[in-house]
Homo-oligomer: A and B are copies of this chain.
Amino acid sequence: MTQRDVARAAGVSTAVVSAVLSPKKNSSIRVAPETAQRVHDAVQRLGYVPNLVARSLAGGERRLLGVFTYEPVFPSDRANFFYPFLLGIERGVERAGYDLLLFTSRGDEAKGDTAEGRKIYPSGANRLRLADGAILFGQEPDKSELTRLVAEEFPFVTIGRREISAGQISYIAADYASATRDMVAHCAGLGHARIAYLGEKDPREQHLDREHGYWAGLEAAGLVQRHDWLLRLAPGDLDAARMSRLRAEGVTAILTESAAHAEAAEAVLKGLGLSVPKDLSIGVLAAPMEDRPEFRRWTRIRIPREKMGEAAVGALLDLLAGRAASPVQRVLPCTLEPSETVQPPAI
């Protein structure tokens, strides 16, 4: 059952069937109403269904947006984290009349439980090409794959800022720099004059954004900027010695890169017979991946996940339609969520 059968049944050529079934504004074909009716009748009678793959190959519209993540899109332990992005993506995509292609397979034919994760170029071919463009998000993507994606000019947008040396990547990110500045201002406003920063051991894009926000915030508030108050270490590496040093130097508040860092800091304080926020205020800068209810006690940053998903779709569609030039790079404002762990200093 193909277009040809319909054409034959309606006594027209396949060109006419195509024109009737996919009306284009500036088509070179104009069909008489009664002819169009004959075609529709034949379609009905035969139960003809166009082959979308063929249509796509012939240059018709695909209207398919890819979603790629290196880990499962629906992880059980991060449901609350991922869900809002997907919700925003679906909302954006539905409005635009696109379908969503979730790249869930590893991409190669290997089916066993090999440790290998998902790949964009599993066997040399860009799997994403099945879609018109793609949104990438989640864990740290493979930079070499991103580089290749840019090189072949495949339209894509990442959620979260990514940088590669070989070019510019379109992204929708949370405005962590401003959010961190706000957090510093929040602490300063409560009377904290000496604020330290507990950062990632190996800072990536978003961590550097936050560090910049830290310095900018101190600057704006006219507070002391000491480079040894910015610690870069894994949560487990924070020890009593470092903590005591900071306290001895008059630090009354710490901004931490993650909830894990905050919890580590609290544990160390506890070991010293101290507590949060009585002896030290702690503000958390990143939205924890897990988003568990117990994280709500921390004064923290909330990122606009749903809006980010929607904006990523918008940016990608702009790119596809030629309404925007690559790269499209936007940051969306975050919200500071004051809670119990940041209070005025004891003094």
| Contact B103 A99, beta carbon cutoff 8 Å | yes
Given A124-B49, A125-B49, does the pair A102, B101 have CB atoms closer than 8 Å?
yes
| Contact B57 A74, beta carbon cutoff 8 Å | no
Contacts of A64 in B (CB 8 A): 101, 130
Partner of A74, one of B48, B53, B90, B106: B90
Given A99-B105, A105-B63, A105-B93, does the pair A76, B87 have CB atoms closer than 8 Å?
yes
Contacts of A44 in B (CB 8 A): 124
Mark out the residues of chain A between 79 and 116 whose CB falls within 8 Å of any chain B CB in the assembled complex: 79, 83, 86-87, 89-91, 93-106, 108-111, 113
| Contact A53 B63, beta carbon cutoff 8 Å | no
Partner of A95, one of B49, B103, B111, B130: B111
Q: How far is the CB of A334 from chain B (nearest CB, A)?
A: 20
How many of chain A's residues have a CB under 8 angstroms from any CB in B? 58
Asked if A144 is at the interface of the complex by the 8 Å CB criterion, the answer is: no
Contacts of A123 in B (CB 8 A): 21
A44-B124 Cα distance, complex, nearest whole Å: 8
Report the nearest B residue to A118, measured CB to CB: B94
Specify which of A47, A57, A106, A111 lies most central, judged by the most chain B CB atoms within 10 Å of its CB: A57
Report the nearest B residue to A122, measured CB to CB: B97
Q: How far is the CB of A48 from chain B (nearest CB, A)?
A: 8
Report the nearest B residue to A154, measured CB to CB: B49
Could you give, for residues 117-145 of chain A, a 1 whenever the CB lies within 8 Å of some chain B CB and a 0 otherwise? Answer: 00001011111011000000000000000
Contacts A49-B124, A57-B57, A74-B83 given; 5 further ones with Cβ under 8 A?
A49-B126, A49-B129, A53-B62, A53-B129, A97-B111
A interface residue numbers (CB < 8 A to B): 21, 43-44, 47-54, 56-57, 62-64, 72-76, 79, 83, 86-87, 89-91, 93-106, 108-111, 113, 121, 123-127, 129-130, 148, 151-152
